[in-house]
Amino acid sequence: MSEASESESVVDGVEALRGLLTLDELTKRVSMSVRNVRFYTTRGLVPPPIRRGRSGYYSPDHVARLELVRELQGHGFTLSAIEKYVANIPVSATPEDIALHRAMLAPWEAERAVEMSRKEVTARAGRGLSDEELTTLNALGIIFPVKRGRYEVAVSQLSVGVGLLDLGFPTEAAVAAADIYAAHGRSLANELQELFLTTVWPAYKESGTSPERLREVVEKLKPLSIASLVSAYESAMDETKRESIARRTR
């Protein structure tokens, strides 16, 4: 082989590796051990490495899928649940497509819950709380048991919940309201996600938006969505009250 041909071969090899990561670089990028990366590969959660001779390399697709797996783990998904979730993502999905999944997984919470012991909860509440009262606060979306004797608490709402307890708010009403919120919440979430996937996401994808930018967009949408929901609820409640009064006066 001539020197020119050898030089061209080297250049082609460098170009072929551009943007690819070694296993060591990948583990540092996604903050995972080599063992975990290989385990997820054998489970089919990420594709096998790209072979270049005897060496294996990893693309942005590998990075995106491993970051998604890590995100799912952070939300408490079991390995079986992660496998089912990933199985629904097309093989042809781009790193940007996968970034959308990660962005939609981020919790849409007005505040981050704080984990407390029962003693800490009662201290923050300013009084003791019976098991039935804890059930009521759970149905109201204020306190969630996470393990024996430990709870996640929406601290800013706790005093409001205790105030309702002091006014004799019935547990059965809280449970029934929680069922209503859950049923309509699922329906609303499905419709909004469909709107995002069919209208918002294609526009950003066409413009070449980065995964980081996409997550920023979703984060900024959260407070606006929550405010819109509250506003729509208040308007509907006012209209419902007016209709109820009109019916009683007829």
Strands 114-117 and 143-147: unpaired
pLDDT value for 9: 42
Encode pLDDT of 135-170 as tens digits: 999 988 899 888 888 999 988 889 989 999 999 988
pLDDT value for 107: 60
Encode pLDDT of 19-55 as tens digits: 799 999 999 999 999 999 999 999 999 999 998 888 8
Average pLDDT, integer, range 164-187: 86
pLDDT value for 35: 94
Q: How far is Cα 52 from Cα 37, in angstroms, rounded to an integer?
A: 19
Position 7 confidence tier, pLDDT thresholds 50, 70, 90: very low
Q: How far is Cα 159 from Cα 155, in angstroms, rounded to an integer?
A: 8
Encode pLDDT of 93-147 as tens digits: 888 788 777 777 766 555 667 899 999 999 999 999 999 999 999 988 899 888 8
Q: How far is Cα 208 from Cα 235, in angstroms, rounded to an integer?
A: 38
pLDDT at 11 over 50: no
**Percent of the residues in the chain that have a pLDDT greater than 70, as a whole number:** 88
Average pLDDT, integer, range 176-186: 84
- What residue ranges define each of the domains in the chain, with the CATH number in brackets? 3-93 (1.10.1660.10), 106-193 (1.10.1660)
